[in-house]
Amino acid sequence: MTRLLGRFGLVIALAVLCAALSAARPSFLTLGNLVNLIRQISINGILAVGVTFVLLTGGVDLSLGSLVALTGVAAALFAHPGEYPVIAPVVAGVAAGALCGAASGAVITVGRVAPFIVTLGMMTAARGLALVASGGRPVSNLSPEFTALGGGQVLGVPVPVIVLAAVAAAAWVVLARFRMGRHVYAVGGNENAARASGIRVGRVKMFVYTLCGALAGLAGVVLAARITTGQPNAGVGYELDAIAAVVIGGTSLSGGVGGVGGTVLGALLMGVINNGLDLLNVPSYYQQIVKGVIIVGAVWMDRSQHKS
Amino acid sequence: MTRLLGRFGLVIALAVLCAALSAARPSFLTLGNLVNLIRQISINGILAVGVTFVLLTGGVDLSLGSLVALTGVAAALFAHPGEYPVIAPVVAGVAAGALCGAASGAVITVGRVAPFIVTLGMMTAARGLALVASGGRPVSNLSPEFTALGGGQVLGVPVPVIVLAAVAAAAWVVLARFRMGRHVYAVGGNENAARASGIRVGRVKMFVYTLCGALAGLAGVVLAARITTGQPNAGVGYELDAIAAVVIGGTSLSGGVGGVGGTVLGALLMGVINNGLDLLNVPSYYQQIVKGVIIVGAVWMDRSQHKS
Amino acid sequence: MIQAKDISKSFAGVPALAGVSLEIRAGEVHALMGENGAGKSTFMKIVAGQLAADSGTVDSGGGRVAMIHQELMPFLDLTVAENITMGREPAGRFPGTVDRGAMRREARELLARLGSTIDPDRKMRGLSVAAMQMVEIAKALGWRADAILMDEPTSALAGHEADLLFEVIRDLRRRGVAVVYTSHKMDEIFRIADRVTVLRDGRSVATHAASELDERRLIALMVGRELTSQRPAGGAARTETALSVKGFGGAEFEVRKGEIVGMIGLMGAGRTELASAIYGLAPGQGEVRVNGRVATIGSPADAIRHGIAMVTEDRKGSGIVPRMSVRENLTLASLGAVSRGPWVSRAAEAEAARGQMSGLAIKARGPEQEIATLSGGNQQKVMLGRALLARPEVLILDEPTRGIDVGAKTEVHELIRRLAREGKAILMISSEMPEILAVSDRILVVREGRVTAELDPRTATQEQILAHAMPEAG
Amino acid sequence: GRTGQGPKQPVIGVSMMNLSNEFIAMLNKGMEAKARELGVTLIVNDAQRNAEKQVQQVESFVAQKVDAIILNPSEVEASSPAVDRAVAAGIPIVNVNSETRSAPSAFVGSRDEESARIAMEYIVKRLGGRGDIVMMHGFMGQAAQLKRDQGAREVLRKNPGVKMLADQTAEWDRAKAMSLMENWIQSFGPKIQAVFAQNDEMAMGALMALEQAKMKDKVIVVGVDSIADALEAVKAGRLDATVFQDAKGQAGAAVETAVKLIRKQPVDKQVYIPFQLVTRDNVAQYLK
Ligand SMILES: Nc1ncnc2c1ncn2[C@@H]1O[C@H](COP(=O)(O)OP(=O)(O)OP(=O)(O)O)[C@@H](O)[C@H]1O
Ligand SMILES: Nc1ncnc2c1ncn2[C@@H]1O[C@H](COP(=O)(O)OP(=O)(O)OP(=O)(O)O)[C@@H](O)[C@H]1O
Ligand SMILES: [Mg+2]
Ligand SMILES: [Mg+2]
């Protein structure tokens, strides 16, 4: 309850935006467009949920965009028709992401190098790996079973939307109800105190970076399925969008405060802005100005709501 | 003394890298290439010095890349031959940068919105402004007096190198010897303590964001002069490079610790890596992998040096 | 229960502990005494396994060891219940889950044992230091350890709450738990300790049964010489009013030049809140006059400009800048005085810092030592030095001797007196009744944010003060 | 923006790959001009070089029930689902400038390989079939980079006398190209006889680095796109050549084709608009 109320301003900002949009463009509030909108945020949403864990521990992960490319390529290599069952590319993508995440986590915990630097290095290196693995060209000719993960529907709901919902729900449970969730908040809130409370801080960090990598892998799989190709140059800048969604949603960059609920709201807000500006046909250059202003404005509103 | 020793590992990493490079490519250690190298880091160096102030207060500025584009365009609009004296474009660029920085600073201090969000908004908005101001096309036909700021030399030293040296020296003096410098460290070290000690925290933050914007403007001017055009799509990703240089140089992302000396070393390290990989003609894909590994490795080495 | 043998530890080549051996028995309360920087906290952290010794062994016989830290370590954005159960959350129905109801219940029970009614669902942020200390104690109790190390657990607590803690300690003793206890409040030692070990400069000087010692002998062992502990000289209050306060939800009082006004109240009575509002650090509506002129104070910077300086209660949160040196911390509030234009004069700054370091007998390797590596008491002295360097006419001290050792405490009391004699007006908040009685010229009792009584320390009794501080029955 | 008015004007949704790119912006301008002329409404979205966003935009157009879609694909493969969505929804879709794997209702544009082939053949001719060159790539893995790379290498295979000393990406960026060229000058010096840059921005960067090193007169520099700066440089005799891609021609044909499709008139399934080599001799006709 308090958590939802904490994000009250954001909900209002979102509501105002939606009301304004549907007044200006009746097509905004159609079921078709709303499903469309949620499908559009699914990739960013999955990434944002993953990086929420990392930000909660006070870390950061800049490698997400590159990981999306690398894992999309990895998945695509196993997704040619008639070669492997459809689970193979999914496992390949998620495992590749988890592995990279774990590698970052290991350097961060063992080497005590700042997460910013480690994941920046991973961002560069994973992009190179994606290019090497794909020979620099898109990996295409993917099986229809695989591409259904991006373009298909189950009971009328697009698969990416289902994936996002499942991921967000699971993440919420872990953060709110599991010991690991408590420990994530503890490490971010006060690392020394967490250590003094007997929490194995290294393990918690390994967990969050590995999880974040794995979810980036999942996002990479969904993206590859959606665009029906493993694209080594995909995902540039996705990390900033994901982190933005998390921070808009009220998770502090210094760790310890926030949660997945806010993150989903944040991703939604960004999706509505993008979708709305396109619907309103705002010229591209002005879109960017308006987008920047709305994001800051919404968060400002949210923060002032907080104080009262 | 302690500060220099603190960065000892980084100096060693740099020395090892340079030794290896000059062994592999004798052309590395020529005066020509060294001047070349420092000229290449000048833009990133100027940006990194500016963002050092911001990071020292525990903030962040993601708008640098877009500001470089916007201010480059602003400068170029005043740099057509025979229209205004050459000081006009410089003032236009720096002032535009300072203004944007001040705007970010104001929202951060007054609105208490997280710097990440505010400067992310500014990143998007400034890019849009740059596109609007230039009509989406490069502003070219610039006077030779102006382009000399990027391509010219004074006593054999390229102008951008002189600008970087001046900026770094001035920044060092401010941080190490001025009251404002001490206040910057205090705000980043413990904002509550700084406030309780009578430091006007808001003013300090306004100062750092404005300064950082102004230096981004200077970098934009130098870049526009160097590439002889105001490019509205220039500078994408520059903010990450600049922040990376600062963090490699030992300034903590959580504020309060670090300085300009380390930043210059960090920018140098990144420059050597880029230059060296080109000289060694490492294939593109592998360049990125190697670059990522070296950056993390150098910082790791630096950190382990610290502990002993 | 715990056998520590020949523990040595040095930081950057400077020894903090040199061959300390100690045996702690089950069911005893063992007091660890010593001046600031003697090595008590370092020793406890080593015994708790949170710091590695350079040499020596600790054998706790497989028993569990919990520790209450001198420097509070709260998770500010988590609830009280989450803080108390962190690291040993009650397991929920499914593997890996936590039972939040059980968590809350357990927290409430532990707090109740300490006589505290803090709501387990409250966020830590916003609690007073004293309340946080309560949570910290509850947390350590929750471990149900075989030995509990208590590093100045009562430094922020008022007598009443400390009494409840002693009840708990006696209970622990009955159950065979070993308790190691440090405090700079001498009276506590004789009320609770069975044996006392004194550390001086990182060496163990002596271990005695508490019954063999009295306060004077203990102090002599700690300090290494006899301390002439006489009551400080009488007040020097003049007639001119230096500070007058009106508003802030029910406060109206004055502090005259040269006068020390002591402010006392129970934990959470609102003294810190009131002082912070006067100083511009917390929101509040009221009128402040300095030397008769209305001072408009919107921030501490304004307050300092009007001649008011304050030492805050929360040393870690709003006091030290941990990564700065002692010098930089000392001059933080008075950089203007050691600068020419924008330039900080290195020489002037160093001189100012050295002056305070010797004047307050701050124990540090030098002005360049990072303040975070000083012992707690010495950090507190630096905070005092910072306020003094601002050359205030009015000095607000919130728990100024929290964590300061007996020797230094006498020095600080004498210093406060001296400042008063120099004409400064001093408003001193303290939860230590003896300190209030010994130092103040006048006592204000605060309850629920209001000044409820004004008493004369020469005639007032502890019972009288308590009567005004306690909430009215019914 | 929305162009023209009127109750029953046909609406065409346009998804452009990247409006901050000068050439794409020119393409967009050409389309808006043609739309005004033909009295149709355009809704222009900018995918900012992101194929997934491009798919989203087409999905939004489908949700809005536009009459036709013009797609300026950012990727061959990755933008294909966008075409599939439109086809599945029965909305005519015209690809402009570059291709996708999935077949649209019609295609208007050029073959990117051809531009590199033209540029490289010019270099080979200038070198007399023998010499050392370097090549600057665009952003690795993007369709234009891949195709221009492919076209250039085809020519090199046929001319074994021309050797590639080094090739490296400068990510379409002028400043990066300048640094890269500076480093190449340090490492190869006078051995470099020609530079092929996969776009004009990079060619301009290489050109300026060479000029500063006072080596331009010994090195041939060729780019692709014919941006304004490049044309000026060709005219001034600084840049040796660029390859002209007809933005206006492509744009006009694309809108015309889309309108015909809306009116159910017959159209050419594929309209190729050829590239042209621009050198000092013929630059005048491209400058206006
Ligand atoms: N991390 C550290 N780095 C350097 N020196 C340290 C560090 N921690 C403690 N010290 C030094 O070790 C000595 C002992 O400190 P310790 O905190 O154990 O004292 P203490 O007896 O607990 O004092 P107090 O009563 O003031 O709490 C002090 O001189 C202190 O400056
Ligand atoms: N134990 C507590 N339980 C709940 N709230 C508390 C408690 N302690 C403090 N507070 C909150 O803090 C406010 C005032 O605390 P403040 O720190 O000003 O008191 P204080 O008199 O300085 O006492 P101390 O610092 O000894 O705790 C109270 O109004 C109350 O809201
Ligand atoms: Mg201690
Ligand atoms: Mg208090």
Domains parsed from chain A with CATH numbers: 31-302 (1.10.3470)
The tokens for B69 are: 């584009």
The tokens for B179 are: 């009251």
Angle at C458 between CA C456 and CA C464, to 5 degrees: 60
Q: Are residues C203 and C90 in the same domain?
A: yes
Query: Shortest Cα distance from D42 to chain A (angstroms)?
Result: 9
Work out which ligand 2 atom sits closest to the CA atom of C158.
26
What's the distance, Cα to Cα, between the start and end of chain A in Å? 16
Q: Is the CB of C267 under 6 A from ligand 2?
A: yes
Which of C157, C189, C223 delimits the end of a domain?
C223
Q: Are residues C129 and C250 in the same domain?
A: no
| Domain limits for position C51 | 2-223
CATH of the domain at C108: 3.40.50.300
Under DSSP, the state recorded for C357 is H
Per-residue pLDDT tens digits for A209-236: 999 999 999 999 999 999 999 999 999 9
Residue C228 included in any domain: no
Tell me the residue type at D272: Y
How many separate domains does chain C show? 2
Residue C236 included in any domain: no
Residue C235 included in any domain: no
Question: Nearest-CA neighbor of B47 among B238, B234, B204?
Answer: B238
Residues near ligand 1 (Cβ within 6 A): C 11-12, 16, 34, 36-42, 70, 373-378, 403, 405
Alpha-carbon distance B204 to B180, whole Å? 7
Q: Are residues C378 and C327 in the same domain?
A: yes
Burial class (CB in 10 A: 0-12, 13-18, 19+), C57: exposed
Cβ neighbours of residue B77 under 8 Å, at least 6 residues apart?
Answer: B89, B92, B133, B134, B139, B230
Q: Are residues C418 and C354 in the same domain?
A: yes
Query: Shortest Cα distance from A105 to chain D (angstroms)?
Result: 28
Q: What is the mean pLDDT of chain A?
A: 91
Per-residue pLDDT tens digits for A250-298: 998 888 999 999 999 999 999 999 888 888 888 888 989 999 999 898 8
Q: Is the CB of C268 under 6 A from ligand 2?
A: yes
Question: Nearest-CA neighbor of C465 among C473, C457, A75?
Answer: C457
Q: Are residues C292 and C389 in the same domain?
A: yes
Q: Do B117 and A244 touch (CB under 8 A)?
A: yes
Q: Do B227 and D205 touch (CB under 8 A)?
A: yes
Q: Are A224 and A79 in contact (CB under 8 A)?
A: yes
Which of C223, C251, C269 delimits the end of a domain?
C223
Q: Are residues C198 and C251 in the same domain?
A: no
Burial class (CB in 10 A: 0-12, 13-18, 19+), A22: middle
The tokens for D113 are: 């390989």
Q: How many CA atoms lie within 13 A of C40 on its CB side?
A: 35
At residue B76, what are phi and psi to the nearest 5 degrees? -60, -35
Q: Do B193 and C335 touch (CB under 8 A)?
A: no
Q: Is the dihedral of CA C236, C237, C239, C241 positive or negative?
A: positive
Q: Are A214 and A94 in contact (CB under 8 A)?
A: yes
3-state secondary structure of A41: helix
Find the radius of gyration of the CA atoms of chain B.
Answer: 19
Alpha-carbon distance D262 to D277, whole Å? 35
At residue C159, what are phi and psi to the nearest 5 degrees? -50, -40
What's the D30 CA to ligand 2 centre distance in angstroms? 70
Q: D interface toward B at CB cutoff 8 Å?
A: 19-22, 25, 137, 140, 165-169, 173-175, 178-180, 182-184, 186-187, 189, 204-205, 208, 212, 227-229, 232
Q: Of the residues C117, C263, C267, C448, which should be mutated to test ligand 2's pocket, given the most ligand atoms within 8 Å of the CB? A: C267
How many residues can be counted in chain A? Answer: 308
Q: Are B277 and B287 in contact (CB under 8 A)?
A: yes
Q: Are residues C245 and C217 in the same domain?
A: no
Contacts of D187 in chain B (CB under 8 A): 25, 27, 278-279, 281
Nearest-Cα residue of chain B relative to residue A252 = B114
Alpha-carbon distance D22 to D18, whole Å? 9
Separation in Å, CA C378 to CA C68, C365, C373, C404: 20, 12, 10, 8
What's the distance, Cα to Cα, between the start and end of chain C in Å? 47
Mark whether C and D touch (3+ CB pairs within 8 Å).
Answer: no
Q: How many CB atoms lie within 10 A of CB C146?
A: 19
Question: Nearest-CA neighbor of D205 among D240, D169, D170?
Answer: D170
Query: Shortest Cα distance from C327 to chain A (angstroms)?
Result: 26
A5 pLDDT band (50/70/90 cuts)? very low
Alpha-carbon distance B228 to B142, whole Å? 6
Residue with tokens 């205090």: B186
Work out which ligand 2 atom sits closest to the CA atom of C134.
1
Contacts of A229 in chain D (CB under 8 A): 75, 77-78, 80
**Sheet holding C55-59: strands in order across?**
C14-24, C2-11, C55-59
Residue C234 included in any domain: no
Alpha-carbon distance A206 to A115, whole Å? 12
3-state secondary structure of A118: helix
Residue C231 included in any domain: no
Mutation site for A-interface testing, chosen from C47, C65, C73 by largest number of A Cβ within 10 Å: C73
Q: How many CB atoms lie within 10 A of CB D285?
A: 9
Q: Are A240 and A140 in contact (CB under 8 A)?
A: no
Cβ neighbours of residue B76 under 8 Å, at least 6 residues apart?
Answer: B89, B134, B139, B140, B142, B224, B229, B230
The tokens for C138 are: 């509850």
Nearest-Cα residue of chain B relative to residue A104 = B296
Cβ neighbours of residue D260 under 8 Å, at least 6 residues apart?
Answer: D266, D267
Tell me the residue type at C364: A
Question: Nearest-CA neighbor of D221 among D245, D204, D243, D201?
Answer: D204
Task: Give the 3-state DSSP-derived string for chain D, with helices as H, strands as E and coil as C.
Answer: CCCCCCCCCCEEEEEECCCCCHHHHHHHHHHHHHHHHHCCEEEEEECCCCHHHHHHHHHHHHHHCCCEEEECCCCCCCCHHHHHHHHHCCCCEEEEECCCCCCCCEEEECCHHHHHHHHHHHHHHHHCCCEEEEEEECCCCCHHHHHHHHHHHHHHHHCCCEEEEEEEECCCCHHHHHHHHHHHHHHHHHHCCEEEECCHHHHHHHHHHHHHCCCHHHCEEECCECCHHHHHHHHCCCCCEEEECCHHHHHHHHHHHHHHHHCCCCCCCEEECCCEEECCCCHHHCCC
Q: Are B62 and B235 in contact (CB under 8 A)?
A: no
Q: How many CB atoms lie within 10 A of CB D126?
A: 16
pLDDT averaged over 10-residue windows placed end to end, chain C, 474 residues:
91 88 93 92 93 92 90 91 94 92 95 92 89 92 93 86 91 93 90 94 92 89 69 63 90 92 87 94 92 93 96 91 96 94 94 93 92 90 94 94 82 87 92 86 90 88 84 57
Confidence check: pLDDT of A118 > 90: yes
Q: Are residues C118 and C262 in the same domain?
A: no
List, for chain B, all residue ranges whose pLDDT scores fall below the cut of 70. 1-7, 304-308
How many residues can be counted in chain B? Answer: 308
Q: How far is CA D147 from the centre of its chain?
A: 11
Number of helices (H) and strands (E) in chain C: give both, helices first: 16, 21
3-state secondary structure of C264: strand
Q: Are residues C392 and C290 in the same domain?
A: yes
Find the radius of gyration of the CA atoms of chain C.
Answer: 23
Q: How many CA atoms lie within 13 A of B16 on its CB side?
A: 11
Alpha-carbon distance D166 to D147, whole Å? 18
Task: Give nearest CA residue, ligand 1 atom 3.
Answer: C373
3-state secondary structure of B206: helix
pLDDT tens for the 288 residues of chain D, in order: 444 444 568 999 999 998 888 889 889 999 999 999 999 999 999 998 888 899 989 988 998 889 999 999 988 888 999 999 999 999 999 999 988 989 999 999 988 899 999 999 999 999 999 999 999 999 888 888 999 999 999 999 999 999 999 999 999 999 999 999 999 999 898 999 999 999 999 999 999 999 999 999 999 999 999 988 999 999 999 999 999 989 999 999 999 999 999 999 999 999 999 999 999 999 999 987
Query: Shortest Cα distance from A51 to chain C (angstroms)?
Result: 19
Give the pLDDT confidence score for residue B3 in this predicted structure.
Answer: 47
3-state secondary structure of B153: strand
Work out which ligand 1 atom sits closest to the CA atom of C44.
18
A46 pLDDT band (50/70/90 cuts)? very high
Q: Are residues C315 and C208 in the same domain?
A: no
Which of C223, C252, C271 delimits the end of a domain?
C223
Residue C115 included in any domain: yes
Q: How many CA atoms lie within 13 A of B50 on its CB side?
A: 35
Give the rounded percent of residues in chain B with a pLDDT score beyond 70: 96
What's the C45 CA to ligand 3 centre distance in angstroms? 10
Alpha-carbon distance D208 to D182, whole Å? 9
Alpha-carbon distance D284 to C290, whole Å? 81
With b meaning 16 or more CB within 10 Å and e meaning fewer, what string describes B220-241?
bbbbbbbbbbbbbbbbbebbbb
A43 pLDDT band (50/70/90 cuts)? very high
Q: Are residues C208 and C271 in the same domain?
A: no
Q: Are residues C85 and C197 in the same domain?
A: yes
Q: How many CB atoms lie within 10 A of CB A102?
A: 17
Query: Shortest Cα distance from A274 to chain D (angstroms)?
Result: 10
Contacts of A121 in chain B (CB under 8 A): 291-293, 295-296
Residue C61 included in any domain: yes
**Cross-chain CB nearest to A300 (options B62, B113, B127):** B113
Q: Are C384 and C399 in contact (CB under 8 A)?
A: no
Contacts of D75 in chain A (CB under 8 A): 138, 227, 229, 231
B131 pairs with which residues across the strands? Answer: none
Q: Do B124 and A291 touch (CB under 8 A)?
A: yes
Question: Nearest-CA neighbor of A175 among A100, A256, A247?
Answer: A256
Work out which ligand 1 atom sits closest to the CA atom of C40.
21
Q: How far is CA C372 from the centre of its chain?
A: 16
Find the radius of gyration of the CA atoms of chain D.
Answer: 20
Residue C307 included in any domain: yes
Question: Nearest-CA neighbor of C110 among C92, C128, C134, C78?
Answer: C134
